[in-house]
Amino acid sequence: MLAVALGPLQYADLERAKSYQGDTKLMPYYLGTDEAGYGPNLGPLVVSATVWHVPAALDGQRLYDHLAEAIVATPRAASPGRAAMADSKLLYNSGKGLRHLERGLLAALRTLGRPVGAWHDAWAALDGDSLAACRALPWHADYVCRLPMAVAADEITALAESFRATFDATGIRLVELRSRAFFPAEFNALCRQYESKGLALSHVTLGLLAELCRELPDEPIHVLCDKHGGRNRYAELLDEHFPGEFIEIHGESRQRSTYRFGPAARRFEVVFASKAEAYLPAALASMASKYLRELAMGAFNAFWTSRVAGLQPTAGYPVDAKRFKAQIAAEQQVLGIDDELIWRAK
Query: What CA dihedral angle connects 154, 155, 161 and 167, to 10 degrees?
Result: -150
Report whether 33 contacts 52 (CB < 8 A). Answer: no
Q: Which residues have a Cβ under 8 Å from the Cβ of 332 and sit 6 or more positions away?
A: 339, 342
pTM: 0.92
pLDDT band of 11, cuts 50, 70, 90: very low
pLDDT band of 4, cuts 50, 70, 90: low
What is the pLDDT at residue 276? 85
Return the percentage of the chain with pLDDT > 90, whole number. 84
Whether residue 102 has pLDDT greater than 80: yes
What does the radius of gyration of the chain's CA atoms come to, in whole angstroms?
Answer: 21
Domain 4-297 CATH superfamily: Ribonuclease H-like superfamily/Ribonuclease H (3.30.420.10)
Report whether 304 contacts 54 (CB < 8 A). Answer: no
What is the pLDDT at residue 289? 98
What is the pLDDT at residue 18? 33
Kindly report, residue by residue over 181-239, the tens digit of the pLDDT. Answer: 999 999 999 999 999 999 999 999 999 999 999 999 999 999 999 888 778 999 999 99
289-311 burial: b if 16+ Cβ within 10 Å, else e: bbbbbbbbbbbbbebbbeebeeb
- DSSP string computed for 33-44: EEEE-SS-SBS-
- The vertex-270 CA angle with 265 and 276, nearest 5°, equals 135
Beta strands in the chain (DSSP E): 4-5, 29-36, 45-53, 71-72, 83-84, 173-182, 221-226, 248-252, 256-261, 268-273
pLDDT band of 3, cuts 50, 70, 90: low
3-state secondary structure of 309: coil
What is the pLDDT at residue 20? 32
Q: What is the mean pLDDT of residues 24-49?
A: 90
What is the pLDDT at residue 135? 87
Whether residue 45 has pLDDT greater than 70: yes
Whether residue 295 has pLDDT greater than 50: yes
73-85 burial: b if 16+ Cβ within 10 Å, else e: bebeebeeebbbb
What is the pLDDT at residue 16? 31
Mean pLDDT (the chain) is 91
Closest by CA to 289, choosing from 88, 109, 147, 150, is 88
What is the pLDDT at residue 17? 28
Whether residue 5 has pLDDT greater than 60: no
Report whether 88 contacts 287 (CB < 8 A). Answer: yes
pLDDT band of 26, cuts 50, 70, 90: low
Please tell me which of 11-25, 130-144, 279-293 the model is most confident about, judged by mean pLDDT.
Answer: 279-293
CA distance 137 to 303: 11
What is the pLDDT at residue 275? 85
DSSP state of 310: T
What are the angstrom distances between the C-alpha of 301 and each of 19, 190, 311, 328?
A: 53, 25, 9, 11
Domain ranges of the chain: 4-297
Q: What is the mean pLDDT of residues 155-181?
A: 98
CA distance 250 to 229: 20
What is the pLDDT at residue 1? 61
Q: What is the mean pLDDT of residues 52-74?
A: 95
pLDDT band of 12, cuts 50, 70, 90: very low
Closest by CA to 73, choosing from 282, 325, 346, is 282
